[in-house]
Structure 1
């Protein structure tokens, strides 16, 4: 989860105080025979020096080092600023050490040995480089991890937005694609049989109502999808009359499983448009749905040959492939092949 700027700042200050306090506590408690006053002074002042110098360093790094375009200039800035912070760290150690020696309580022998050379600035700075350098490395590692996490979240949000936009576009293709085909059928029968035309309009309105109400969701129960398929078949049978035979073999344990809306209807429509409609004697469409292990298998067989014309947009087939890929990635599959004078379309959808 991405941390807010306020929470990151709070976490930084807590880690600063606790971290430097812990380091100085260890340094103050290891030596033997030192006074309580010396321990308290070392912890408080050491923590103050560490927090002050590294907080100034952090302020500089945040405003002058661009991690998005990290290069030689940024490395130089980090090295120079680290050396300057270490110098400040060492000078403050010398200053507060002088204050304690000159104005503090009498020193024990152990404390006197501890303060030997406290006024040697270069020694203090060199010692400080190690501490401040370790702090910089830790800071940069945390900064990098937060940046990587932020980039990951942004990519996920972008992919989610893109996928949803693509899904909405694909869903929007279904309605006009199906509607134009149905309206053409109605137009052909309008002057021949008014009753049949009226019945086709009723079926069409039911199908369009279904597609519109399910347009904002990504999955529905199989039984709801079968209702629109039945309406489509009834609609098509009015046109094809006895030329169309529809057989449905659906296992009962699949009726409540969830699938993308309109996906079976597209298979049936493709079988009708590119299969049965091209055969003078008509043919059969078989719909079979079953569950195998953790996958749902949807199969549509139609009489005919797999012969997609060059001028075909293959809108329905492409729609199915893209929706499955967007919703299930590589876990779903769709294949279309010709087997023994039949065109077989099979979809495999993961259930877990």
Structure 2
């Protein structure tokens, strides 16, 4: 309803400007013979056109500003919606595992609950922010890895190499988790043995490089692009439109993803 009222106001203001300009123009035309002989008529005409120019420029500026504001609000709304979609099924899966662990291994279940609580808190409160410290995002990824290690009953080769030279680097939250989640979901989840996930994260003064590689079961590969990956690409387009590169390579049974973000 507010949008309709705003539209009506814009139409009324636009009509007012048009009518005012037409009326002034008609007055000048009708009384041209009379005013043409008066001293200062030329100055009056100059003043009139300057007034019209200023009025139209002011109106155009307001319209452009309104369009930009609405576009930014739409982008922010879409971004919040995309963030809310990040890894909800992971939490449901983890809760199901906790249900089975409560009677079998209560101590392990307690550890899982604490880590899961930290991750959920981060997703809810930090995930709504425009940016977070890279160090906070790293801790979130480490908690995710530890939860999966506790969850599986098989040996997984997980390596997370971190080389961060700028601890104050800020980044959009929940950015790398989709690539990490895909490595476990489509790789580790379906492999009975020899599963691995190797991660390299480097942060220089002007950019962040995130690379992740994992193996997967070829027989379980459906070659479809998941919702999570489309979500990531869209968020990158909204926040880092001309300052990111995302490449994904798949050869034999190896999946490799590289994401580079330039500092805004």
Instruction: Calculate the TM-score normalised by the size of structure 2.
Output: 0.79
Asked if the contact 1:276/1:283 (under 8 Å) is kept, the reply is: yes
What residue in structure 2 maps to residue 80 of structure 1?
26
Question: Which structure has the higher relative contact order (CA within 8 Å, separation 6+)?
Answer: 2
Q: Structure 1 residue 257: deviation in Å?
A: 1.5
Q: Structure 1 residue 204: deviation in Å?
A: 1.0
What residue in structure 2 maps to residue 289 of structure 1?
201
Structure 1 residues 192 and 145: CA distance shift in structure 2, 3 A: same
Query: Radius of gyration: which is bigger?
Result: 1
What residue in structure 1 maps to residue 211 of structure 2?
299
- How far apart are the structure 1 equivalents of 2:123 and 2:13? 55
Asked if the contact 1:175/1:211 (under 8 Å) is kept, the reply is: no
- How far apart are the structure 2 equivalents of 1:127 and 1:303? 85
Asked if the contact 1:247/1:286 (under 8 Å) is kept, the reply is: yes
Q: Structure 1 residue 235: deviation in Å?
A: 0.9
SS in 1 for 2:85: helix
- Superposed CA RMSD: 3.2
- How far apart are the structure 2 equivalents of 1:321 and 1:228? 20
Asked if the contact 2:166/2:205 (under 8 Å) is kept, the reply is: no
Structure 1 residues 136 and 195: CA distance shift in structure 2, 3 A: same
What residue in structure 1 maps to residue 188 of structure 2?
276
Structure 1 residues 318 and 189: CA distance shift in structure 2, 3 A: farther
What residue in structure 1 maps to residue 110 of structure 2?
198
SS in 1 for 2:129: coil
Matched, 1:163 2:112: no
- Provide the aligned length of Structure 1 versus Structure 2: 251
SS in 1 for 2:165: helix
SS in 1 for 2:173: coil
Q: Structure 1 residue 333: deviation in Å?
A: 3.1
1:208-261 CA distance string (max 9 Å, x none): 122223133121122211112111111101222443221112213044321111
Asked if the contact 1:254/1:290 (under 8 Å) is kept, the reply is: no
Between structures 1 and 2, the one with greater helix share: 1
SS in 2 for 1:66: helix
Asked if the contact 2:236/2:244 (under 8 Å) is kept, the reply is: yes
Instruction: Calculate the TM-score normalised by the size of structure 1.
Output: 0.61
Q: Structure 1 residue 140: deviation in Å?
A: 2.1
Matched, 1:124 2:73: no
- How far apart are the structure 2 equivalents of 1:268 and 1:331? 21
Which of 44, 52, 68 is the aligned partner of 1:140? 52
Structure 1 residues 234 and 293: CA distance shift in structure 2, 3 A: closer
For residues 93-108 of structure 1, the aligned pairs below 5 Å read none
Which of 11, 15, 24 is the aligned partner of 1:66? 15
SS in 2 for 1:263: coil
**5+ long unaligned stretches in structure 2:** 1-11
What residue in structure 1 maps to residue 238 of structure 2?
326
Asked if the contact 1:175/1:208 (under 8 Å) is kept, the reply is: no
Asked if the contact 1:300/1:345 (under 8 Å) is kept, the reply is: yes
